Amino acid sequence: MSTEAGSWTWGSLAPCKESADETRAVAKTTIHRLLSRRDIPLQEKTLWRMLYETAARAAEVLALNVEDLDLEHRRAPVCSKGGTALRHVKPGAEAIAKVAEVMAPRRRTH
């Protein structure tokens, strides 16, 4: 890389080696054990459940607004990586139940 005037010399850059992805899925029993713990806040359990049931990226789930969730049809709109497209993820019944449980106190106070 040349530092003169901020220019790059591509010939001096070595290609990056990609390491093999050794990520493993978490066993369903482990997920259920985590979600049944009483010391974990409900909001955190809801996030984990949404991530597990939809296979959405964490950023996609965290960007959701509760008002955007379609609880009746069990779907949630998320922006794809890069924000170029809108798609729907389909949380399972347990994730929807957790969202409703999180929302219950808010509905009573409004």
Q: What is the dihedral of CA 56, 62, 64, 66, to 10 degrees?
A: 120
Whether residue 86 contacts residue 80, with contact meaning beta carbons closer than 8 Å, is answered with yes
Tell me: pLDDT of 39 over 90. yes
The structural domain count of the chain equals 1
Domain coverage including residue 93: 26-109
**CATH value at residue 88:** 1.10.443.10
- Give 78's strand partners: 87
Tens digits of per-residue pLDDT, 75-99? Answer: 888 887 777 778 888 888 888 888 8
- Rounded CA separation 110/107 (Å): 5
Residue 8 belongs to a domain: no
Q: What angle do CA 65, 61, 31 make, to 5 degrees?
A: 130
pTM, entire model: 0.62
- Rounded CA separation 43/103 (Å): 10
